[in-house]
A and B are shown apart, each in its own frame.
Chain A
């Protein structure tokens, strides 16, 4: 799963996964899914969805490297508080692994 807050390019991840296709995993299938980033304000309860629209490149890059920088540059669009929860879509994580037991 690729949370949208971190703005990871799917091509870069796909390239990295290709490198994992050692003989043992040559038929492995890697599936990438995006998840929109959702915020919930701890101050007023407002919920809203992340968009990188209008962000400068520097800010976008800061959030890309350390997503917690969202609390530096993003404010609740109702009350202006930086005290919000990243309810969904923060980073990159492994959701499931499926496999078949071999002989070895």
Chain B
């Protein structure tokens, strides 16, 4: 018995130049905000960009982008619609606002299914908003998506960074490329995250200050573009 879906996945990514997974060991650090802003920022620089929300339990990028009334087109698989210039794919097309209680094996199956049916076409960048942690989704994306690279998000809190550090060590041990670490929601700049990231031999990409304006910009990418958060994050898209 063999799974025909696995063979298709590599083909789906053959014209995607770079796949950037935005991940974290911990929830609530702003992964979805950073993934969405990064995708928009790359688009602003003239690249063709896709955004894939793989956080099935707590999808959020549709809220940040203000996506409503879009639905993928079926054509030898499915073609994600364009939202604010991004090829945008999310489980919420199918789950709407209902809870999606999936166990590990179901998470794997749903990821395999989405990766196998989604036709990205030609993209310079596909940004993936990952679920937090080092569970099934993280292991499956590493196993299945060719050439995947990670941007890892933390906050200055030691509570968050302890878990983020474990993710970094895991990725390093597995030989997965790590673009670097973003420190988000910084209220009082401290050096310890940067120092520890550099001690691991990794790149500390940016320190993004806590920005109250972001909450008000939810659902409105143009308002988001005007925030300090977005401008500071632009440094990351410039370096990609």
List A54-74 residues whose CB lies under 8 Å from chain B. 61-62, 65-69, 71-73
Choose among B3, B101, B106, B107 the residue that contacts A93 (Cβ–Cβ < 8 A).
B3
Q: In whole angstroms, how far apart are the Cα atoms of A28 and B106 in the complex?
A: 34
User: A61-99 vs B: 1/0 string, CB under 8 Å?
Assistant: 110011111011100000000110000001111110000
A94 contacts B94, CB within 8 Å? Answer: no
Tally of chain B residues near chain A (CB < 8 A): 23
- Residues of the A chain whose Cβ atoms lie less than 8 Å from the Cβ of B114: 66
- B173 part of interface (Cβ distance < 8 Å): no
Given contacts A73-B98, A83-B101, contact A94 B2 (CB under 8 A): yes
List B80-99 residues whose CB lies under 8 Å from chain A. 91, 93-95, 98-99
- Residues of the A chain whose Cβ atoms lie less than 8 Å from the Cβ of B5: 91
Q: In whole angstroms, how far apart are the Cα atoms of A67 and B110 in the complex?
A: 7
Q: In whole angstroms, how far apart are the Cα atoms of A25 and B139 in the complex?
A: 37
- Residues of the A chain whose Cβ atoms lie less than 8 Å from the Cβ of B107: 68
A44 to chain B, nearest CB (A): 16
- Residues of the B chain whose Cβ atoms lie less than 8 Å from the Cβ of A68: 100, 102, 106-107, 109-110, 113
B109 contacts A65, CB within 8 Å? Answer: no
List B143-165 residues whose CB lies under 8 Å from chain A. none
Given contacts A71-B106, A93-B4, A94-B4, contact A65 B101 (CB under 8 A): no
B152 to chain A, nearest CB (A): 27
- Residues of the B chain whose Cβ atoms lie less than 8 Å from the Cβ of A82: 99, 101
Select from chain B the residue with minimum beta-carbon distance to A73.
B98
- Residues of the B chain whose Cβ atoms lie less than 8 Å from the Cβ of A67: 109, 113
B100 contacts A72, CB within 8 Å? Answer: yes
Select from chain A the residue with minimum beta-carbon distance to B110.
A68
User: A29-71 vs B: 1/0 string, CB under 8 Å?
Assistant: 0000000000000000000000000000000011001111101
A62 contacts B95, CB within 8 Å? Answer: yes
A65 contacts B78, CB within 8 Å? Answer: yes
Q: In whole angstroms, how far apart are the Cα atoms of A90 and B3 in the complex?
A: 12
Q: In whole angstroms, how far apart are the Cα atoms of A61 and B164 in the complex?
A: 37
Q: In whole angstroms, how far apart are the Cα atoms of A72 and B106 in the complex?
A: 12
- Residues of the A chain whose Cβ atoms lie less than 8 Å from the Cβ of B78: 65
New A-B contacts (19) at CB < 8 Å, excluding given A66-B114, A91-B5: A61-B94, A62-B94, A65-B78, A65-B117, A66-B91, A66-B113, A68-B102, A68-B107, A68-B109, A68-B110, A71-B102, A72-B98, A72-B99, A90-B109, A92-B4, A93-B2, A93-B4, A94-B2, A94-B4
7 residue pairs, one from A and one from B, having the closest CB atoms: A62-B94, A68-B110, A68-B106, A72-B98, A72-B95, A94-B2, A66-B113
- 5 A-B residue contacts at CB 8 Å? A61-B94, A62-B95, A72-B100, A83-B101, A93-B1
